[in-house]
Amino acid sequence: MLKQISVFAENAKGQFHKMTSVLKDNDINILGSVTNDSAEYGIVRMVVSDPELALEKLSEAGYICKSQKVLGIELADEVGNLNNLLGALHDSNINVNYLYLSFNRTSGKPIMVLHTDDTAQVENILTSKGYTSVSIL
């Protein structure tokens, strides 16, 4: 399993730059991210190289943050593999709340980062179906 940082931020000019500056200044690499926005606020979800330090430093900078467990599932870079993964989840009656893409820096393979209601159970189900879960990107 991976730890993801979720950051609640005002949808205003310069917010991304401020956020990434905090991470850069603390030598924290963003390994994968997704942003959901509304008119006034957004949520930035990201997997980073040091989630505990990111949470600490972003909180100190005034952001509302939390960490949570997500799954990183390695896939071969081939047509239909995301569909196959989602099919396996569907067949097991598992809902995916959201997902985003990263990649394994060692193998170069895509990693689908996904959030479900029961991360540990879903990890066990996918492992039993032959998928590889990663704990570091």
Q: The pTM is what? A: 0.87
Averaged confidence pLDDT in the chain: 92
Element (H, E) at 86: helix 81-91
Q: Could you tell me if 97 and 108 lie in one domain?
A: yes
For residue 136, the model assigns a pLDDT of 75
Element (H, E) at 100: strand 98-103
Q: Which residue has the tokens 């196959």?
A: 84
* Counts of helices then strands in the chain (DSSP H, E): 4, 7
Percent of the chain whose predicted confidence (pLDDT) is above 70: 99
Looking at residue 14, which CATH number applies to its domain?
Answer: 3.30.2130.10
Looking at residue 93, which CATH number applies to its domain?
Answer: 3.30.70.260
d(CA 71, CA 75): 13
Q: Give the domain extent around 100.
A: 70-134
Tokens of 41: 């606020």
pLDDT band at 123; cut points 50, 70, 90: very high
Q: Could you tell me if 107 and 64 lie in one domain?
A: no
pLDDT band at 137; cut points 50, 70, 90: low
Residue-wise pLDDT tens digits, 62-121: 999 999 999 999 999 999 999 999 999 999 999 999 999 998 888 888 999 999 999 999
Tokens of 86: 């989602």
Residue-wise pLDDT tens digits, 21-63: 999 999 999 999 998 877 788 899 999 999 999 999 999 999 9
Distances in Å between the alpha carbon of 81 and those of 64, 72, 77, 78, 135? Answer: 35, 14, 7, 6, 20
